[in-house]
Amino acid sequence: MKFDLVEIAPPVFDVDVTLAYATADNLTGRPVYRKAECFLHRDAADKLQAAIDLGRSLGLRLRIFDALRPVEAQWKLWTFNPDPEFLADPRRGSPHSRGVAVDLTLLDGGRELDMGTGFDAFTPLSHHGRTDVSTEAQRNRLLLMGLMTTAGWDFYRNEWWHYQLFDARRYALVSDADLPRPMM
């Protein structure tokens, strides 16, 4: 099966790619990906470009923590922490494993905006609409949501950092062997 994948990297995409799962700075405490490669399905890449353009108009950039996540990586995360509130059961398939989800935050002059929690903070404080995080974090979350939803993305209510295409299930699951350059 041919997958219509696009590499997400500068200079084509003006983003900061900081893939958490290619480092030990993630919920597992060790790298999940052997190689830091950032891909999205072309449909998602087009919507990401729209979000980049909207952010640029405000003097902001996007930092990507995760994009396409091979099925094998989803299994590693699920095995480590099988929590359906924050991780998709790999038997059903994650939008990340279809190349149509992205985890990200906003940068202002290279500095991450305060979102009230870190990426992958699997706590109720990470949910959208929380009023028990600082007013600044609430504004920043709403700003990110505004940029992403205006660009055509759907949000996941439990994670301020996660956005996906509305029709994610219509896209095929992607294994490491399907990638232009393997990640695992």
49/72 Cα distance (integer angstroms): 27
d(CA 63, CA 131): 24
159 counts as catalytic: yes
From the list 72, 112, 136, 159, the catalytic residue is: 159
Look up residue 25 and give its amino acid. Answer: D
Q: What does the DSSP assignment read for the chain?
A: ----EEE--TTTS-EEE--GGGSS-STTSS-S-SS---EEEHHHHHHHHHHHHHHHHTT-EEEEEE----HHHHHHHHHH---TTTS--TTT--SGGGT-EEEEEEEETTEEPP-SS-TT--SGGGSTT-SSS-HHHHHHHHHHHHHHHHTT-EE-TT-TTEEE-TTGGGSPP--GGGSSS---
Active-site amino acid positions: 159
